[in-house]
Amino acid sequence: MAMELKQSLKLAQQLVMTPQLQQAIKLLQLSRMELLEQVREEMDQNPLLEQPDEQAPGDVGDKEPGEASLEADNVEMPRDGDMPAATSDTATEFKADGDGPPEIDWEAYLNSYQFNEQTTASNKGNVATDDLPSFEANLVKKEDLVDQLQEQLGTLRLNDAERRVAMLILGNLDDDGYLKLPDVEGDPLIRLCNEADVPMHVAERTLRRIQMLEPRGCGARDLQECLLIQLQGMKEPHAPLLGLIIKRHMKYLESKNLPAIAKDLKVTLEEVVEAVKLLPKLDPKPGRNFSGDDAQYITPDVFVYKMGEEYTVVLNDDGLSKLRISGTYRNALKTGAVGPGQTKDFIQDKLRSAVWLIRSIHQRQRTIYKVTESIVKFQKDFLDKGIAHLKPLILRDVAEDIGMHESTVSRVTTSKYVHTPQGIFELKYFFNSSISRVSGEDTASEAVKHHIKQLVSQEDARNPYSDQKIVELLRSQGTEIARRTVAKYREVLGILPSSKRKRYY
């Protein structure tokens, strides 16, 4: 059978994401810190992007950055349908130099101010400022755990073999101060003594000396060893009993089964209780105070203020609102100072890229504003009265309210934070499932979690509520919830089961 070749036309529609659209979507889902970093990178790579303090002669300060760029001749701009330009009816406008009160030039102020013996009591020797140490020279490095232990090791008399294995031990401490090798089963000290080429008894002796340094307990291989090290030298009457409990009954101790401990050790329950009271004096993670991780502070993307009976949404444009197009390059294109060729093509390409970035940031800020405004409308009771009045809310509710797709709402609420009268929350916090109520409207799952947390905080520690008891208490207050759901919420909140919450003192 002969094969026949035919040609045919087929009409189809296909969605193609341009690089500009991909950039806009990427900017939408970036956190505030990531966006500021992205802007800094773009400014380093694109000479047409600048901030007002970089203003050069010829820059325009009374126009919108994106709109001012449109004056350049022969520059093809994105259509409004592709990326709506920012309008003046929202709080997302980029500020021009002429807006608001003039800023103080602090650098010029400090340079012109004449310091003398009368005005600077700390410089009575009249030392020239050029001779003083620089600001960087006064900075100190945060001391970590290894530095702290190495300094103390310097006061000990260690021979070469002990020092070799000591440095290996310090180099393998984790953030909590424990001696652990992830890829080694069993005692990690065996691997280290072989690597240092020292006998096992030398490695053991060196490890014991390290464990007695401050903070005491570093170098322990497990929690039991860490606690026992710290108990050594504790001058408390019940310290020996606590040491015996830790050696023989760690499982009972973890589950707070104190009667079983008393029965096995043939002591009274009161004696066990007194011994267990010493546990808070022991640190299960002795190295954590030297962790190199610094606290991460949250800068809200948007603020919600109460003005009378209504709430006002204000965007945090700090660091973004003054981004603009350089008038020097734009005027060079407009006046023909740049002739045809690669240079003009380069500037036009950078101009298009800069304008698109500014418009993308405009659109991102406008979308955050609209989403937050919608959330405020849905969650007014929460803003007025607190977490207990948080309402069930899903992405579709906000998407339909503002006329956007759910995926856009999802992107814009990821890693974005809002400052409200009730505190700082991630925008995603306001989206949660509903829990049925016997009467009235459904309640939000976050509100139920908050209620469970309150119930546990008010319970009798000697007779804590079981999950079933919490179910009954919630039902008596009109909230229908299954016991397994209570158990799941309790675990999310980091609340132990009732058997481990029970206290004997």
335-354 tens-digit pLDDT: 766 666 667 778 888 888 88
**CATH (domain of 466):** 1.10.10.60
Classify residue 167: in a domain, yes or no: yes
Classify residue 18: in a domain, yes or no: no
Domain boundary among 247, 266, 290: 290
Classify residue 467: in a domain, yes or no: yes
Classify residue 487: in a domain, yes or no: yes
- Beta-strand relationship, 324-325 and 443-444: unpaired
Residue 228: what pLDDT?
A: 92
CA 316 to the chain's CA centroid? 18
Which position has the token pair 């130099």?
Answer: 97
The H or E element spanning position 425 is: strand 423-426
Domain limits for position 497: 434-501
- C-alpha distances in Å from residue 332, one per residue of 48, 286, 358: 12, 64, 20
226-258 tens-digit pLDDT: 999 999 878 889 999 999 999 999 888 888 888
- Please report how the helices 467-476 and 445-457 are oriented relative to each other, as an axis angle in degrees rounded to 10: 110
3-26 tens-digit pLDDT: 677 777 878 776 666 666 777 787
Classify residue 63: in a domain, yes or no: no
Of the pLDDT bands very low, low, confident and very high (cuts 50, 70, 90), residue 156 is confident
Classify residue 6: in a domain, yes or no: no
Classify residue 470: in a domain, yes or no: yes
DSSP secondary structure string, 385-404? H-GGGPPPB-HHHHHHHHT-
Classify residue 229: in a domain, yes or no: yes
Residue 263: Cβ within 10 Å count: 13
Number of domains into which the chain is organized? 2
* Verdict on whether the full-model pTM lies above 0.75: no
Of the pLDDT bands very low, low, confident and very high (cuts 50, 70, 90), residue 105 is very low
Domain boundary among 290, 318, 334: 290
The H or E element spanning position 50 is: strand 49-50
Q: Are 24 and 83 in contact (CB under 8 A)?
A: yes
